[in-house]
Each structure stands twice: as C-alpha cells, then as structure tokens.
Amino acid sequence: MARFASVFFFATLALVGAGCQLLGQDADAPDPVAAAIERASTDPHRSEQNIARNAYRHPVETLRFFGFEPGMAVLEVQPGAGIWYTEILAPLLAEHGRYVAASYDLTNPELSDYAKRAHEALVARFREQPERYGDLDLAVLHPPEIHLGRDESLDLVLNFRNTHGQIRSGAAEEIYAAFFAVLKPGGVLGVVQHRTGPETDTSKFNGYVSEETVIALAEGAGFVFDAKSEINANPNDRANYARGVWTLPPSLTLGNEDREKYLAIGESDRMTLRFRKP
C-alpha cells in the first residue's frame, strides 16, 4: 500500500506540474516539488536533531535552486553514513528517479575505521528500509580512485560541504572534471561550501574556501557558472576560529568551552553556487 501511495503521489505531482505549465500558471502558484521536499525534510523517520538543522541548511530552497526534480538521476557526493541530505533525496527519488552515492573505496588498505563504519551505515539504511529509500547505486569518490559512472548519465551532482576536503586531497581538479564527465549536457552541479570571510586565515586548512576558488575549479573543468544564492549565508560566522569551521555546530569540537556562544552563531556561512554543463 505504501508503494502504491507513493506511485500515486508522484504521478499526481507530475500531472500537476505539467498542468501548471500548460495553463501558464503564474510564478506565485504553489510548487508541488517544493511541497514534496518539505514533507521529506520533516518526515518523522528523521531524527529531531536532523530536522532541526533544516533551519541552517534550507533543503527546500537549496534543492529547488539547483533544479531538483523527483524524476532525475542524482549523485550525492560523499554522503558519509547518509544521515542528512540522503534522508531527503533518496525517498524522493525512490520511485521515478535514481539516487547515486559517491562513497569510499573499500579496497583501499588505508581506509579508516570511521569511513568503513560510515559506508556500512549508508548501505544498511537502504537495505533495511527499501520501501522508503529504494535502490542504492554506489559510485567511488575516494582519491586516487574516482569512478562516478557512465559519462553523460546524470542530471544533477550535489557537492555539499566537501570542496575543502577535495582541495586538501590534491585531487579537486580531477574530481570536478569527473563531475563534468558524468553529467548530461545541460546537467547541473550544485555546490554548497563553507565560505571564507575577511578574517579567515587562508594560509591554513580550516574548512573555509573562497567563492573565487570554487568558481575557478568548476570553470576549469568546463562548467559555466550559472547563478549564486545567499540561501545558506550566515553573517554571524566570522570564519576565523582556531579549530576551523568544526568549532561551530554541528561538530562543536571545543565541547563545552564557549558552547552557548557557538550555538548562538549557528552553522557556518555557506556559498550556494549553481554550475551548468554546456
């Protein structure tokens, strides 16, 4: 019954969307895809802690800015244990779309225990709740191994808060080139990344990257810079902490030291950039 209801919902959603286009409905009309993302982001199967992060990560606005549709083939880059955006994306794509997770290289002898546990948790999430999450397609994004799938096979690549680590690995240019290769012509790369500010010490690794750096990476791979948004901006973030971005929630690496101060700041200031493959 749950699968039938889901099929009916998405079929209705598609018909509503098509009807709105045919009738020339104005831009202020309700967006059925946005409504579906909102429901997925607040679904009771998500923990209260994860739902609370919606206030900082704005999943509805962010995914719509990137042009997300439930019938797309979508790659989520390095989702770890699949405990945040995966919980939203996979159920939305389960019936009519395709969810691909770019995870770790399990053949790497230097793979950390943390990475192994994260990968196992991701796989278990899909295996234990197939009616909710659908099928899991696994790709590899763990330099030097990068295998994202067949060229020109995806509609959307989502790179959430990963670019700093990709730069640190020394493989950022190769990774962004792989994003370009796997996307269809007209496909979108969506990037959300902790953003440097005037006080950021850019001489050391702290999780923050400048917009200019990300744009140069994407354009160097062949992408066209399409648009930017301040959806995930946070002017309270000074981006100059001794322990980097992980000083802020959700990591709070200082523990109880100045905890209330960092909770009041909230999650990091983030750029939200959309690139398109010509």
193-206: pLDDT as tens digits: 999 999 999 999 99
> Which residue range forms the structural domain that includes residue 226?
2-276
- Assign residue 216 a region (left: φ > 0; alpha: ψ between -120 and 50; beta: otherwise): alpha
Lowest mean per-residue pLDDT among 106-110, 212-216, 231-235 = 106-110
pLDDT of res. 27: 61
pLDDT in tens, 123-167: 999 999 999 999 999 999 999 999 999 999 999 999 999 999 999
More confident residue, 3 or 217: 217
Q: What is the pLDDT of residue 4?
A: 39
**pLDDT tops 90 at residue 230:** yes
Question: Confidence band (pLDDT; 50, 70, 90) for 29?
Answer: confident
Query: What pLDDT, on a 0 to 100 scale, did the predictor assign at position 13?
Result: 52
Average pLDDT score, the chain:
91
Burial 236-251 (b: 16+ CB within 10 A, else e): ebebebeebbbbbbee
For 274, the 3-state DSSP assignment is strand
Count: domains in the chain:
1
Separation of alpha carbons 205 and 226, rounded Å: 28
pLDDT at 40 over 60: yes
Residues 6+ positions from 146 with CB-CB distance below 8 Å = 140, 171, 174, 175, 178
Give the type of residue at 190. G
pLDDT of 110 reads: 86
Please tell me the distance from the alpha carbon of residue 270 to that of residue 129, in angstroms, as a whole number.
32
Is 99:136 a contact under the CB 8 Å cutoff?
A: yes
User: In three state form, how does the secondary structure of 46-58 look?
Assistant: CCHHHHHCHHHHC
Q: How far is the C-alpha of 28 from the C-alpha of 89, rounded, in Å?
A: 25
- Residues 110-116: contacts with CB within 8 Å, 24+ apart? 111/142, 115/142
CATH of the domain at 231: 3.40.50.150
Side chain identity at residue 242, one-letter code: A
Q: What is the pTM of this model?
A: 0.89
* Mean local confidence (pLDDT), 225-238: 98
Whether 99 contacts 90, CB under 8 Å: yes
pLDDT digits (tens, 9 = 90+) for 2-22: 443 444 444 445 444 444 444
Residue-level pLDDT at 26: 61
Average pLDDT of the segment spanning 68-85 = 96
Residue-level pLDDT at 3? 44
Q: State the CB neighbour count (10 A cutoff) for residue 36.
A: 21
